[in-house]
Amino acid sequence: MTIHHEGYKSIAVATLIFGAINLTMFWIFRAQYPWLCYTVLALTFILLLFIVSFFRIPKRTLTIQDGSIIAPADGKVVVIEETHDEEYFHEKRLQVSIFMSPANVHVNRNPVSGTVVYNKYHKGKYLVAWHPKSSTENERHSVVIRKGQTDILVKQIAGALAKRIVNYLVEGQEVKQGEELGFIKFGSRVDLLLPPGTRVNVQMNQKVQGGVTVIATL
C-alpha cells in the first residue's frame, strides 16, 4: 500500500495537530488526569489513522479489457437506470452510479482507453451524494472519453462532505484504462453515462473496486 500524493499536505497538517494536542494535554493534565490524556491520545491517533487510510492506494491487479467498462471508483452501486442527459449527449443514456463512503479508496480511474473529447467543471450544491438530484445540482466535474465510435461520460460528484474534486485530464489527451482520472476528498459519488442498451455486469448495492470490477461490456 502507498499513500496518494493528494494526501501529503492533509496528513502533514493532521500529524502536526495530533502532536500539538497531545503534547499540550500531557504537559497540562498528566499529573492530575492521566486517564484523560491517554483517552485523548487514543482518539486522536484513531482519527489520524483514518486520515492516512483515506489517501491509501492498495496494491491491486487492474483489469485491462478492451471491450469492457471498468469501475472508475471504489464503492457501492446505487443507481442503474435510464436517464436523459442534458449536459453533453442531450438524449437518453444508461446511468450507473457508485457511492463512495469516507472509508473507500478515493482514487478515480479511467473506465476505458480512448481520447478525452470533453472536460468541464460545474459549480453547484453539496447535497448528500445519494440524493437523486446530486448528479445535476451538486458541484461536479464531467469528462467524456471517446473509444472508437462510443462516448462514455464520467462524472465526479461532490457530496455533503466532499468539498474538493481533482481531475487530471485535459481535452485531446489520450488516456489508458485503469490510469488515474482524478481524486475526490471525503466521500462522494461517480456516475457513468453509457450508451442505451449497454449490457451491465453489476447489480444494485453491489460493492465494486475501482480499476478492477467490470461494470459493463461494450
Same domain, 81 and 113: yes
pTM of the complete model? 0.85
Among 160, 166, 97, 98, CA closest to 125: 160
Residue-wise pLDDT for 152-191, tens only, equals 999 998 866 656 788 999 999 999 999 999 998 766 889 9
Amino acid, res. 140: R
Beta bridge partners of 122: 140
Same domain, 21 and 105: no
The strand order across the sheet containing 107-109 reads 107-109, 180-185, 164-167
Same domain, 36 and 98: no
Residues with catalytic roles: 188
Q: Which CATH number does the domain housing residue 97 bear?
A: 2.70.70
The strand order across the sheet containing 214-217 reads 68-70, 214-217, 199-200
Residue 50 lies in a domain: yes
Phi/psi for 26 (5° steps) reads -70, -30
Residue 18 is part of which domain span? 2-57
Instruction: Compute the C-alpha angle 166/108/126, nearest 5°.
Output: 55
Residue-wise pLDDT for 64-114, tens only, equals 999 999 999 999 999 999 999 999 999 999 999 999 988 888 899 999 999
More confident site: 162 or 207: 207
pLDDT band at 138 (very low <50, low <70, confident <90, very high): confident
Residue 62 lies in a domain: no
Q: Is 205 helix (H, G, I), strand (E, B) or coil?
A: coil
Looking at the structure of the chain, the number of domains it has is 2
